[in-house]
Structure 1
Amino acid sequence: MTASMRQQPAAAPTRQEFAERLLKGSVKKSYAPVVDIDWDAPLEPDKFFLPPRCVSLYDTPMWDEMTREQQIELSRQELVNTLSAGIWFENILNQALLRKIMHQDPTARSVHYELTELGDETRHMVMFGKAIELVGAKPVRPRWWHRVVINALPLGFKGSVLWVAALIGEEIFDSLQRQMMDDDDLQPMVQRLMRIHVTEEARHIQFARDGLRKRAPALGPITRLWVSSINGLGGYFFRYLFTNRIPYLRVGLDADRARRLARTSPHRRQVQISGFAPLAAFLEEVGLMGRVSRRMWRRTGFLPQ
């Protein structure tokens, strides 16, 4: 009798119920960065554009050799590099979602949330572009063959691969931004940008996680092996992004030495590990952190040795 009266755990919401919940959240808390950021406010001359501890060369001999002005300038160029990459990634994700929606029921709540996410991401691209313009730097443009890859990737982002790619592109940045946005050394405009992005990306991450959590148990052995192995390529992408030669060259540094120091910096490795930790735990939870991907994430400095 007692056992039969115990409260049963509530059933997990369906995909449509989960999407409906996120749609209601979007109505309550969404932003229009064009008006929600004061683009006319002057930048503060002695503030960083990324917290010093999050700049790639922090706590290296090269960082100690730099003047404060050079350190701030490197933070500016690395912010621009990151925002530029964010624009190109949002472009890839939007293309993949649009292709996905073409084959779905346009009355479904999940489709309505995907369209809402498309709107969020489009506004984020505008926000990133305006931020790059405001800080007075040139965007880091992809080379022609990068653009070929960018336009080809959405063709392969289907099913579980789409949600894994979305999480890799969104959750690592989200985790790092949460660590950065309250730093007193940060430009107020950048703080505001990060708060807006974190608020809206939280819903995108929940949607992607829910999609992957529901799909993962039904994956066949070959598909599971593929998805659990290929996600490790994200480590190589982020290592390339975080040690891109262009910011170093723009500051007038020896780019080869700078990249070598950044990639071997114990401090930088810890920053990357902390940024990847939430996603790593989730991939383990759903059984999609395979041996190959684990080796790649570790080799690129996102998992402990």
Structure 2
Amino acid sequence: MTASIVVSDREETAQRLLASSARKSYDPMVEVDWEAPIPDDKFGLTPEWSTLYGTALWDEMTDAQKIELTKHEAASVSSVGLWFEILLMQMLLRDVYGRDKHSRHVQFALTEVADECRHSVMFARAGERLDMPSYGPHPVIHKLGRIWGGFFKGANAYASVMAAEEILDMMQRDFMKDERVQPVTRTVSKIHVLEEARHIRFAREEVGRRIEGASWARLQLERLNTAVVVYFVMKSMIRKEVYSNAGLDPERAIAEAKRNQHYKDTVRTSGSKLMQFLDSVGLVGGPSKRLYKKVHLL
């Protein structure tokens, strides 16, 4: 079983990532112009990423309705990002609790926690600035996240966190480049993408190290846990309330979103890099495939 990236020495990787953090890190409270007006003619996110783009309902909507919907969708995505950043920080701190604090590995993990703290505030502030509800995952999933955060560790935790971060990353790479999108969304996306590149590299190498030599039984557990987390993250990205809050008929909107082949194809294409990596380290197989298919990643 060979990872799709070369796994270097843990300390070597951490030293390189610490140097990168020192060269280029961002303070969202300074980098984002939180006082700038919110343009009436800008989408909340890239319209092609809207769950209704390409449907009959989308074609019937006015430009103002499309903009309002995508602002709610952007707020929903940000709120899920915030929720998972908090879970990630908990996992990292538990993982390094008993490790040598002089090691570069632990020092980068703590640097990442600092980054994630800023990202969490940034996501919260973005939703507030767009004057959107505080969505977050469904209450049941929120409670399950608390349980997951307390019990899972090692490769399954790093793989799950990496997968969740890559899901956000694949969307935000489009948001940050799209001049049709609200400036606040673009800047928040740019900061997150640039800093998460380090975090994803860190997590990928840890997955490669910790999955190596895993027994058959452990591999099945790692596969299932990772797939379950990805499934719930994908299902949580857009809360159903966004449709009624945007002034749409929620029953029709939910039905059309479920059938939206354009959205399914967009997720599958954008998530191909993530799925290739998970497959390369043996984390795709058995029941996990069914879960990935349900959220259109396979």
C-alpha RMSD of the superposition: 1.6
What secondary structure, in the 3-state scheme, does the structure 1 residue paired with 2:212 have? helix
Q: Which of residues 71, 74, 80 in structure 1 aligns to 2:75?
A: 80
The CA deviation string for residues 214-253 of structure 1, in whole angstroms up to 9 with x for no partner, is 1222211111111123322245324422442110110122
Letter in 2 for 1:162: A
What is the match of residue 3 of structure 2? Answer: none
Q: Is the 8 A contact 2:58 2:66 kept in 1?
A: yes
Q: What do the CA deviations read for 1:12-47 (whole angstroms, capped 9, x no partner)?
A: 521111011000000001000001111111122101
C-alpha separation between the residues in 2 aligned to 1:229 and 1:146?
17
Aligned counterpart in structure 2 of residue 107 of structure 1, from 80, 102, 105 = 102
* Residue of structure 2 equivalent to 1:20: 15
Q: Distance in 2 between matches of 1:145 and 1:287?
A: 30
Structure-2 change in CA distance of 1:263 and 1:71 (3 Å): same
Query: Which amino acid in the other structure matches residue 190 of structure 1?
Result: T
CA distance in 1, matches of 2:128, 2:294: 35
The answer as to whether partners of 1:243 and 1:262 remain within 8 angstroms in 2 is no
In the superposition, relative to structure 1, how do residues 211 and 36 fare at CA in structure 2: closer, same or farther (>3 Å)?
same
Which segments of structure 1 move beyond 6 Å, counting only runs of 4 or more? Answer: none
Between the aligned partners of 2:290 and 2:82, the Cα distance in structure 1 is: 28
What's the counterpart of residue 167 of structure 2?
Answer: 172
TM-score normalized by the length of structure 1: 0.91
For the pair 1:284 / 2:294, whether they are aligned, the reply is no
Cα distance between partner residues in 1 of 2:109 and 2:76: 27
**Higher Cα Rg: structure 1 or 2?**
1
**What secondary structure does 2:197 align onto?**
helix
Q: Deviation digits for residues 249-270 of structure 1, max 9, x if unmatched?
A: 1012222321221122110011
- State the identity as a percent: 36
In 2: Cα distance, 1:147 partner to 1:242 partner: 13
Any stretches of 5+ residues in structure 2 without a counterpart? 1-5
1:30 aligns with 2:25: yes
Unaligned runs of 5+ in 1: 1-10
Matches within 5 A, 1:1-305: 13-142=8-137, 144-303=139-298
Is 2:176–2:189's contact at 8 Å kept on the other side of the alignment? yes
Q: Distance in 1 between matches of 2:170 and 2:234?
A: 16
What amino acid maps onto 1:241 in structure 2? Answer: S
Alpha-carbon distance between aligned partners in 2 of 1:51 and 1:89, rounded to the nearest angstrom:
22
| Structure-2-length-normalised TM-score | 0.93
Instruction: Give the superposition deviation at 1:103.
Output: 1.8
1: CA distance between counterparts of 2:28 and 2:7? 34
Amino acid aligned to 1:56: T
- Paired with 1:145 and 1:191, the residues of 2 have a C-alpha distance of 31
Query: How far has the Cα of 1:138 moved from its partner?
Result: 1.8
* Number of equivalent positions: 293
* SS of residue in 2 equivalent to 1:202: helix
Q: How far apart are residue 173 of structure 1 and its match?
A: 1.0
**Higher RCO, 1 or 2 (CA under 8 Å, sep at least 6)?**
2
| Worse-superposed segment, 162-171 or 227-236 | 227-236
